[in-house]
């Protein structure tokens, strides 16, 4: 199977992500287009969306999965990113290295388990390697079992675990992957990428 991936520029991408997030009931707080614009405006980023046919109407192609990755730097000033970098400091080397953060992503329920998220991840890794990134990091929670299982299959390694004081399901798990050429060679998905306006 060939996966169809769209790569979006900032403004259109922010609106598309805001739209698709409406389909994800399990996200407690959805990202708005403004939040996405503010986060990505002054940094390297990639906004990807996978598209696939509707089961009942194969002639209609719809967005089914998405992923946003962006650069994080040692000297972040935006409070959330500053906090993230501080928490990662002992686990991820920032000095003279380009570090990518896998910020948000997901697949609509009816299309899960069909390889869309692997395809998006592999495409983002090809882009990141070409852009000179050394490592990609991601944060999740203990209770996000689907995401943890997926990151396991995608060979992310746990670099930090922050236990929640009262509810271990809420504990934070930080994972990372070094972006070597071996990683690119291990890719399995076949993809067609279209750059959207
Ligand atoms: C996690 C999620 C993105 C996976 O998307 P997907 O499109 O179904 O993933 P894929 O089909 O590309 O699967 C990629 C790999 O992960 C594995 N995988 C997928 N879901 C899994 C699960 N629930 N448990 C274990 N492994 C899983 C697949 O078997 C596949 O492995 P393989 O390629 O080696 O065979 C999707 O389930 C989702 O959106 N979940 C809700 C989002 C969420 O939990 N967010 C938490 C915030 S961090």
Atom nearest to 144 CA in ligand 1? 44
Does the beta carbon of 140 lie inside 6 Å of ligand 1? yes
Please report, in tens digits, the pLDDT of each residue of the chain (197 residues total): 999 999 999 999 999 999 888 766 555 678 899 999 999 999 999 999 999 999 899 999 999 999 999 999 999 999 999 999 999 999 999 999 999 999 999 999 889 999 999 999 999 999 999 999 999 999 999 999 999 999 999 999 999 999 999 999 999 999 999 999 999 999 999 999 999 98
CATH topology of domain 2-195: Aminopeptidase (3.40.630)
Ligand 1 mutation target, pool 25, 52, 112, 173, most atoms within 8 A of CB: 112
pTM (2 d.p.): 0.96
Tokens (6 digits) for 97: 């290295």
Nearest alpha carbon, ligand 1 atom 27: 150
Please give the pLDDT value at position 30: 83
- For residue 172, the cross-strand partners are 141, 162
Per-domain boundaries in the chain: 2-195
Does the beta carbon of 153 lie inside 6 Å of ligand 1? yes
Instruction: For residue 61, report the distance from its CA to the centre of ligand 1, in Å.
Output: 21
Please give the pLDDT value at position 23: 65
Please give the pLDDT value at position 197: 86
């Amino acid at each position: 199977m060939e996966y169809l991936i769209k790569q979006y520029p900032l403004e259109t991408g922010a609106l598309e992500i805001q739209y698709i997030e409406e389909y994800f009931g399990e996200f407690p707080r959805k990202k708005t287009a403004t939040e996405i614009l503010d986060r990505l405006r002054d940094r390297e980023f990639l906004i990807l969306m996978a598209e696939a046919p509707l089961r009942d109407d194969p002639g209609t192609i719809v967005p089914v999965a998405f992923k946003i990755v962006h650069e994080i730097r040692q000297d972040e000033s935006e409070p959330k990113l500053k906090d993230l970098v501080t928490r990662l400091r002992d686990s991820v080397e920032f000095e003279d290295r380009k570090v990518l953060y896998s910020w948000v992503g997901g697949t609509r329920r009816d299309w899960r388990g069909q390889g869309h998220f692997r395809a998006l991840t592999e495409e983002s890794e090809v882009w990141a390697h070409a852009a000179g990134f050394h490592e990609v990091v991601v944060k999740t929670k203990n209770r996000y079992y689907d995401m943890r299982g997926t990151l396991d299959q995608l060979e992310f390694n746990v670099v930090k675990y922050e236990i929640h004081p009262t509810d271990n399901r809420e504990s934070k798990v930080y994972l990372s992957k070094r972006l070597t050429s071996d990683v690119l060679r291990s890719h399995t998905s076949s993809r067609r990428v279209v750059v959207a306006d």
